[in-house]
Amino acid sequence: MKQLLIINPNTTAAVTDRLLQVAYTVQQNEFAERHATLHALTASFGASYISDEVGYAIAGHATLDAWDRATAQSIKPDAVLIGCFGDPGLWALREHSGVPVTGLAEASFIEASRYGSFAVVTGGARWKAMLERLAIGLGFAPQLQTIHTIEATGAQLAADPEAAVKLLGDACESVAKHATVNAIILGGAGLAGYAAKIASSTSFGIPLIDSADAGARQLFRLAER
């Protein structure tokens, strides 16, 4: 049986629980025939919710540490998902672990690029430059047309889901209206499940991709390689 590992580089255990539940749902709905055991670990140090360069840098180290803790617990993952929309430690963990690794951002970029050009909507103004660099490094800069960040961080959005859905929904509508894109990614581990709520209350004519859903789907696909 395949062993799949989700690493949450944030120190907030509730985010880990949410990502694990998303993965279970995706498994049940889309990969039921693939027998796999899911494991999840939370960063033991760093930011409670990554929102700047310092937190991101520390999170890369915390991601590697989580892998080492998993192997010390005799978990032998066949594939790993970094549960942060920014994928801290992605390349380092690929080198260190020797197994397929993806992150919420990379998985979302892969999914969105199937539609052609795409945009990102996320929380935290400092993420814009960080995600632009990541898109260049992953080779998705030509398809990524715009990144719309709102001032509230992911942690602040997660603290008031009702207000967050309205705020993020307005941002998605604005992007769909003013940018020439074929899909929008709603990025953020703490925003898992929000895309479905936004899609049910608004209509802007293009797919809205939940980064947590995309990450879980890519994790199951990687395990089969």
Domain assignments of the chain as residue spans, ordered by start = 2-103+214-223, 105-211
Average pLDDT over residues 21-38: 92
b/e 166-193 (16+ beta carbons within 10 angstroms → b): ebbbebbbebbeeeebbbbbbbbbbbbb
Report the pLDDT value the prediction gives residue 200, as an integer from 0 to 100. 85
pLDDT digits (tens, 9 = 90+) for 207-219: 999 999 999 999 9
Any idea of the CA torsion for 42, 43, 46, 52, to the nearest 10 degrees? -70
- Which CATH number is associated with domain 2-103+214-223? 3.40.50.12500
pLDDT digits (tens, 9 = 90+) for 160-191: 888 888 899 999 999 999 889 999 999 999 99
Whole-number Cα distances in Å, 130 to 17, 22, 26, 55, 67? 25, 25, 28, 12, 23
Report the pLDDT value the prediction gives residue 160, as an integer from 0 to 100. 83
pLDDT digits (tens, 9 = 90+) for 42-74: 999 999 999 999 999 999 999 999 999 999 999
Report the pLDDT value the prediction gives residue 79, as an integer from 0 to 100. 98
CATH 3.40.50.12500 fits 105-211, yes or no: yes
Strands 79-82 and 208-210: unpaired
The phi, psi pair for 222, rounded to 5°, reads -65, -35
Q: How far is CA 173 from the centre of its chain?
A: 21
What average pLDDT is seen over the chain?
Answer: 94
DSSP secondary structure string, 78-124?
SEEEE-STT-TTHHHHHHHH-S-EEEHHHHHHHHHHTTSSEEEEEE-
More confident residue, 152 or 83: 83
**Cross-strand partners of 5:** 39, 80
Q: Which two tokens stand for residue 224?
A: 């089969």
Does residue 16 surpass a pLDDT of 80? yes
Average pLDDT over residues 116-139: 96
More confident residue, 210 or 32: 210
Does residue 153 surpass a pLDDT of 80? no
Report the pLDDT value the prediction gives residue 201, as an integer from 0 to 100. 81
Residue 11: CB atoms within 10 A of its CB come to 20
Kindly give, in sequence order, each residue whose CB lies less than 8 Å from that of residue 31, ignoring residues fewer than 6 positions away.
217, 220
CA distance 64 to 42: 12
Report the pLDDT value the prediction gives residue 145, as an integer from 0 to 100. 96
What percent of the chain is modeled with pLDDT above 90? 83
- Specify the pTM: 0.96
Q: Which two tokens stand for residue 17?
A: 């629980």
Report the pLDDT value the prediction gives residue 114, as an integer from 0 to 100. 97
